[in-house]
């Protein structure tokens, strides 16, 4: 099983929308699901469900139902994150998702967050009860080499950090832009 130090994993992770034609090993999927399961949540309510989708027809259909998620169609696997009467569904769900994304990256797998879809059809396709909320669908697969080499574009640290109060500059820090 591949391994990577935590900060290196955070630094190197890239959004991945093109996947190699290889299946996701069972051990890697286990790590992804465990990373979600072990996440923190409001009052430890763990208000999540993870639907693992490997059926090629379902993946293709999901890609077609997600305007920003066409790449689901080309992924060997996706995990739908469903929130179950959560008090802070987006915060709890996104923290679990980020754990899963990093565990996946350590195992060599990439993904890209899906933010919109045909709500009625997708919930019906996945059998999600009406009173539960679909947070996202994360497609997972091994990235193409080209994707991984892409430069990460971010604001410099000085533009987003403050000391004690908003707009007071934080001294002694500089990062690569």
Among positions 119-138, residues that touch its own copies (CB under 8 A) are 126-129, 132
Number of shown-chain residues binding its own copies (CB under 8 A):
75
**Can you read off the two tokens belonging to residue 74?**
């080309």
Phi, psi of 25 (to 5 degrees): -60, 145
List the interface residues with its own copies, window 44-73 (CB under 8 A). 44, 46, 48-55, 58
List the interface residues with its own copies, window 15-44 (CB under 8 A). 15, 26, 29-31, 33-40, 42, 44
Q: Measured from the CB atom, is 19 or 92 closer to its own copies?
A: 92
The answer to whether the beta carbons of residues 80 and 100 sit under 8 Å apart is: no
61 alpha-carbon distance from chain centroid: 20
Q: Measured from the CB atom, is 19 or 89 closer to its own copies?
A: 89
Strand partners, 53: 78
List the interface residues with its own copies, window 75-114 (CB under 8 A). 82, 88, 90-95, 97-99, 101-103, 105-106, 113
Query: Does residue 11 interact with its own copies by CB under 8 A?
Result: yes
Q: Measured from the CB atom, is 125 or 144 closer to its own copies?
A: 125
Query: Does residue 157 interact with its own copies by CB under 8 A?
Result: yes
Strand partners, 77: 140
Q: Measured from the CB atom, is 3 or 145 closer to its own copies?
A: 3
The answer to whether the beta carbons of residues 7 and 106 sit under 8 Å apart is: no
Nearest-approach distance from CB 161 to its own copies, in angstroms: 5
DSSP for 53-107 reads E--HHHHHHHHHT-TT-GGGGG-SEEEEEEE-S-SSHHHHHHHHHHHHHHHHHHT
């Amino acid at each position: 099983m591949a391994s990577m130090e935590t900060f290196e994993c955070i630094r190197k992770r890239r959004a991945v929308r093109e996947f190699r034609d290889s299946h996701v090993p069972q051990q890697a999927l286990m790590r992804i699901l465990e990373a979600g399961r072990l996440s923190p949540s409001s009052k430890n309510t763990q208000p999540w469900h993870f639907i693992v989708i490997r059926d090629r027809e379902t993946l293709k259909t999901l890609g077609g139902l997600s305007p920003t998620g066409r790449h689901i169609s080309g992924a060997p696997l996706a995990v739908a994150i469903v929130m179950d009467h959560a008090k802070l569904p987006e915060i709890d769900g996104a923290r679990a998702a980020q754990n899963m994304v990093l565990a996946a990256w350590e195992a060599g797998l990439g993904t890209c967050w899906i933010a919109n879809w045909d709500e009625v059809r997708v919930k019906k396709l996945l059998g999600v009860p009406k009173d539960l909320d679909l947070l996202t669908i994360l497609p997972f697969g091994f990235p193409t080499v080209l994707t991984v080499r892409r430069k990460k574009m971010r604001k410099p640290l000085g533009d987003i950090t403050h000391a004690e109060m908003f707009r007071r500059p934080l001294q002694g820090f500089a990062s690569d832009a």
